[in-house]
Chain A
Amino acid sequence: MNFGFNDEQQEIKATAKSFAQSRFKPDVVRKQVESEPGGFDEAVWKELSELGWAGIAVSEEHGGQGLGMVELVILCEELGYAVAPTPFLANACAGLALEWAGSDEQKAAHLGGIATGEARGAVGSPDVFLDAEGAAVPIVFDEDGARILDPNSVTFDKLDLIDETRGYSEPSSVDGEALTGDLDAASGRMSVAVAAELTGIAQRAMDMAVEYAKERHQFERPIGAYQAVSHRCADMLYAVEEARSLTYYAAWAADEEPDSLALAASMAKARAADAAWEVAKSSIQVHGGIGFTWEHDLHFLLKRARASGQLFGSSSAHRERVAGLIGMAA
C-alpha cells in the first residue's frame, strides 16, 4: 500500500506545476480574459501538446502516452490551480469518451488528433459545450447517450458565462454518430478529471487566503492571528484534503479497480465541487473588500469553481447516485 505518487508521477507533477505557473501567470490569465474572454493562446496549447500532455491518457496504439487517470488528474489539478485558459480538459474528456466508449473505427479516426492536440476534441451537453470553437471532435452527452457531432455541419454559439477563463458555447444541433461502448466508464473518468481541476482551484484559493491572512494587518495584528479568520482557513484545509483524497482514490480506482469507479467518481466530483466553491467564497471573505474587486484574481477562481462544479452533474445529482450505490432502497 502506498497512497502517494511514485517517482514518475512526482516528476509529472513537478513539470506540470512549473509549466502551469510559468505559462499561466495571473497577469497572463487576466490579459486573456480582458482581451479575448473564453479564448486561449494557441502557441501555449501547441507547447503543451508537444509535451505529450494532450494525449497523456490516450492509449499508445492511438498515438497517446498510454498513462492512466492518476497522471491525467495530476495535470488537471495543476492547470486548475492556475485557472489556465486552455482547452486541455475538454480535449482530455473527449479522449476519455472515445477511449472508453468509442468503436475501433471511431478511435482510429479521432484519437490520433486528440493525442497530438492538432485535431482537438471537446465535450458538452445540448445546452453547453466546453472549448468547442475550432474543435475537430465535439462529443455531446445527453439522456440518450453520447454522439460525435460533425464539426462541418454544427455551429457553436458563444455563451457569455460568468467564467471567462474558458470558452462555453451552445451547439446548433446535437445529431451525430453514437458512441456505443461503456458510457459510464467514460463519464466516470470525465467526472474525476473535473474533480481534479476543482481540487486545484480549492488549493489555490486556500493558499491565497492563507498568504493574505499573514500579510494583512488590522488592529495592529495580522488578521490570521484572529481565530475567526484562522479557523476559516483550517476549515479550508479540511475541505481541500477531503476533495484531494477522494479524487486521487477515484483516479486510482479508474486505473486499477474499475468496479469501484462509479461510486468513487461521484464521491470525488461532489466533494471537489463543494470544496472549490466553499473555499473560493471563504477566501473572498478572508480578503474582505479587495477580494470583491475585479482587479483581484480571486473572482476567476470563484467563477471557475461555480461553472466547473456544475459540469457532468451537480453535487446533489452525484450524491443521489452515491446513495443508490451504497444501498439506499429506491
Chain B
Amino acid sequence: MDLTLTADEEAFRDEVRTWLADNNPGPEPDGDDSAKFEFQRTWQRTMHDAGWAGVAWPKEYGGRGASLLEQTIFYAEMARAKVPRPANILGLVMGGPVVMAHGDESQKERFLEPILSAEEIWCQGFSEPESGSDLASLKTKAVKVEGGWEVTGQKVWTTLGHIAKWCMLVARSDFDAPKHKGLTYFICDMEQDGIEVRPLVQITGEAEFNEVFFEGAFVPDENVMGGVGNGWMVAITTLMNERAGLGASAAVGLQNDLENLIELINERGLGSDPILRQKIAALKMGTEALSLGAMRSLSQQIKTGIPGPEGSVAKLQWGSINQEMTELATEILGPAALGKDSDWGYKMLRSRANSIEGGTSEVLKNIIAERVLGLPKLR
C-alpha cells in the first residue's frame, strides 16, 4: 500500500499543474449562455492545442494516451485549479469513446478530430418522456429508407441539443424484436429540417437541457454505429464511460466547496456551534471517503482490469454529500442566501438533480444489489 505518487506520477502531476496555472482562462463570463459556451469552446481549443483535450484518448486518435491514474490526476488537477469545463464534454467522454470502440475506420476518420477541437459539438439522445430509468423501453422510431433511416420521435434531457452538430441517438429499428434487441445506435446530424430543439427550463430557471423532436429526420447508413440492432450494447458502453472516473475529481470539487463553507461559518462566528461542527465533520468524512474509495477502486482496476466495488457507490456518495452540503450552507446563511443570483442558493437547487441525472439513486442501488452483492433480480 502506497498512497504517495511515484516520481513519474508526480512529474506528470506537476506538468499538468504548471500547464493549468499558465493557461487557466479564469472564471466563466456571467449571464449570456452563448458567451459562456464560446468561452468553453475557446478553452477546449487551448487544451487541444497543447494535447490535453483528449487526455484519456489513445495517441492514434489524437489523444494523449494517458494511463488510468494519469487521467485521474488530470481531472483532479482541473478541479483543483477551478478551470472551466471543455465545451464538448459529451463528445469527449462519450461520443469519442463510442466511435473508438464501435466505429469503422471511416467513422473514426470523420468524427474524432472535430470532437477534440470542439469544432463539432455532440449531444446525447437517449432518454424519452416515457423512458427514463427504463431506457430500453424507448419508442423513437427508425424506419429503413433508401440509403439510410428516417427517425421520428422525441428525446429529452438533451444537453447542448441547440448547439450540437451530432446527436448520439438510440432509436427502435425493429418493433418486433425483444425490447433490448430492436435498438440501433445512430449518429444523427442535428442540422436538418426534420429536427426541432426546444429548451427545457429547469427549477433553477436556466435551460441546461432540451427537448428534441424528430419528424422524419434522416440518418445515412454510414452513420449507424456498431451495426443495426446492437444499439443497446453500444449505448451501455457510453453509459459506462459516463460513470467511470468520476470520484476523485468530484471529491476535489466538494473539498473546495467545503473549505468555502467553513470559512463562511467562521466569518459569521458560528464555528463553535456543536451541531454545525458535527455536520461539517460528517461532510469532510464523506468527501474523504469518496476520494479514497475512488483511489482504491482505481488501484484495483489497474491491477486486475476490473474496478473495485468501492467505485459503485461513488455517484451515490457524491450526490448525497453535495445535497447535504448545499442544504447546510443555505441553512447557515439564512434567507439572504436564497437570492436568485446567489451561488449557494443556485447550487442547492441544482443539487436536487444529482440523485436523478446519470442514473437515479434507486437505479444505482438496484445495480449495486444485483451486480456487486449478487442479489436476485427484481424482474
Contact = CB atoms under 8 A, between A and B. Distances in A.
Contacts of A246: 285, 288-289, 292
The interface residues of chain A, by DSSP majority, are classed as helix
B277 A323 contact: yes
B378 A234 contact: no
B72 to A, nearest CB: 9
B378 A230 contact: yes
Contact of B1 (A221, A238, A248, A326): A248
A320 B284 CA distance: 12
B265 A328 contact: yes
A319 interface: yes
Interface in A217-249: 221-222, 224-227, 230-231, 233-235, 237-238, 241-242, 244-246, 248-249
A329 to B, nearest CB: 3
A84 interface: no
A276 to B, nearest CB: 15
Given A237-B373, A238-B316, A326-B262, A267 B5 contact: no
The interface residues of chain B, by DSSP majority, are classed as helix
Contacts of A70: 1
A327 to B, nearest CB: 5
A315 to B, nearest CB: 9
A79 to B, nearest CB: 20
Nearest to B274: A320
| Nearest 4 Cβ contacts at the A-B interface | A329-B271, A323-B277, A230-B369, A319-B281
B272 A256 contact: no
B135 interface: no
A294 interface: no
A228 to B, nearest CB: 11
A3 B262 contact: no
Contacts of A320: 274, 277-278, 281
Contact of A322 (B4, B69, B284): B284
Contacts of A244: 296, 310
A8 to B, nearest CB: 11
A231 B292 contact: no
Contacts of A241: 289, 293, 309-310, 313
Interface residues of B, number: 56
A133 B277 CA distance: 39
A327 B262 contact: yes
Q: Which of B271, B288, B312, B364 has the most CB of A within 10 A?
A: B288
A6 B3 CA distance: 12
Interface in B89-126: none
Contacts of A319: 277-278, 281-282, 285
Given A3-B299, A234-B373, 8 more contacts: A230-B369, A242-B285, A242-B317, A245-B288, A245-B289, A248-B292, A327-B259, A328-B280
A328 B292 contact: no
Contacts of A231: 362, 365-366, 369
20 contacts: A1-B6, A2-B299, A3-B3, A3-B298, A4-B299, A70-B1, A210-B375, A227-B369, A230-B366, A231-B365, A231-B369, A234-B313, A241-B289, A249-B3, A256-B4, A257-B4, A267-B288, A323-B281, A324-B277, A330-B272
Interface in B177-206: none
B313 A227 contact: no
Contacts of A327: 259, 262, 266
A2 B282 CA distance: 26
A227 B296 contact: no
Interface in B1-20: 1-6, 9
B69 A1 contact: yes
A72 interface: no
Nearest to A266: B281
A262 interface: no
Nearest to A6: B1
